[in-house]
Amino acid sequence: MPDGLAAEQVLSRLDAPVLRIGAERTEWDCVRDDHAAMAAAGEWADLLEALRYTDQERVMASGGHRVAPLISEGMRARLSVAIAARNWTAARDELAALESLYERNQDDYCAAQVLAQGHIDLARARRMSVPEGQMSREIGAECTAHYDRAEALVTDFDPIEEMSPLLAATRYALLPGIEDGGSVCREWYEDWVDLDPEDAQAHAAHAVDMLPGWHGSLEGFEREARRAVRMTQGVTGKAAYAIYHITAVEVLGDLSPTVDLEYFCEAIADYQSATGCQQRANIAAHLLSNLALDYRKGGAETAWQLTKVRAALSDVLWNRLREVQMDCWTKGPESLAFAMAEVFGPALKRGARIVRRGEGLGTLVRRT
C-alpha cells in the first residue's frame, strides 16, 4: 500500500456508499426474471412483441445494456437452468418447447432468434462439459447439429432488413461453430455495429475473436480496436478502444502489449461517459487500480506509465465514481483499498475520510 497505510485503515475511512451488487446489474436481473416469469406463464405472444419492440427501438437498460437480449434470456431461462445443471435431457426438452414456439411463429424473426440462441447455448455448454482433447464423436456431432440448426434459423432472416441488432448478435454468435468464421466475422461485426453503434457487447465479442488463438493476432487486434473507434467515434468517442482492451485483460489476464496507454486512458474516460453509469465507473477504477499497482512494482522503468494511469484513476475517483459496487472489484477489497490510498493517501494520513462529493468522491476531515 502507498504511504504506509494498511488496507483496513483505508477502508475504515470510506464513508461513500458501498454496495455488494450495483443497481445496474440488479435491474438487468429483474428484467430477465420478469420475462422468465412471463414465459413460465405461457405469455409468448406478449413476449415476442416486447422482444421485437425493444430490439428495433434499441431500448437500453442502465449501464448501456440492451433490453432485448435480457428478454430473450428470460424466454430461455428454463433452458439455461437445465444447462447450468448439466441436465442434458431436460435441456433438450426445453429446446423442443422453443422449437414448438418457432413452429407457431415461423414468420417472426424473434421466435427464430430465441430458438437459434438456445441451440448455440446448448452447443457451447456441451463442448465446455468435455475436457480438452476428449471430445467424443457423438458429442461433436451433436454440437455440429445444434450449430447447423441455429445457422439455418438465422439465415432465414436478414438483420439489416429486420432492423435487428439482436439478430445480428445471434448470427455473430455462430462463429465458433461454422467453418468460414474467420472470413465472415468482420462483415458480421460491421453489420452489428451499423445497427447499434452504442452497444458495447458488439465490440467485446469481436475483440475476443481478434485475439491470438481465435481469428486474429496482437497486431491485428490493435488495428481492429482503432478501426472500431473510427466506426463509432461520432457516437461514443474512443470508448470502443477501451472496450477492446478491457476485454483483452479479461481473456489474457493483462493488457495487450500493443496498447497505446495514453490513448487507452483517454478511451477509459469516454467509456464511462458513454453511459454515465456507476458500473462502468467501477470497472474503470478497478482496472486502473490494478494497472497502477503493477506499474508501481516496476519502479523507475514504469514511472511514465504509472503517471498516466494515476491521472486516469484520479479522474475516475474524483469526478465519476459516486458509489462502490463490489461485484465489479473482482480482485477484492485490497484492490479497492489500493485505489483509494493511491489517490487520497496524503489526505488520509492527515485523518481525512473519503466521502461522496459532487459527481465523484472527495476527502473530508470531520470535526470532533
- List, for residues 97-109, the tens digit of each pLDDT value: 999 999 999 999 9
In degrees and rounded to multiples of 5, residue 210 shows phi and psi of -90, 0
Per-residue pLDDT of 234-250, as tens digits, reads 999 999 999 999 999 99
Smallest Cα–Cα separation from 4: which of 341, 366, 368, 360? 341
Per-residue pLDDT of 5-55, as tens digits, reads 788 889 999 999 999 999 999 999 999 999 999 999 999 999 999 999 999
Average pLDDT for the chain: 94
Beta bridge partners of 357: 360
pLDDT of 1 reads 63
Find the mean pLDDT for residues 271-285. 97
Beta bridge partners of 269: none
Per-residue pLDDT of 63-97, as tens digits, reads 999 999 999 999 999 999 999 999 999 999 999 99
pLDDT of 275 reads 96
Region class of 19: left (phi > 0), else alpha (psi between -120 and 50), else beta: beta
pLDDT of 132 reads 74
Q: What is the pTM of this model?
A: 0.93
Smallest Cα–Cα separation from 220: which of 230, 207, 229, 232? 207
Per-residue pLDDT of 303-312, as tens digits, reads 999 999 999 9
What the block records as the C-alpha cell of 169 is: 448478435
Q: Which of 75-79, 175-179, 223-227, 293-297 has the lowest mean pLDDT?
A: 175-179
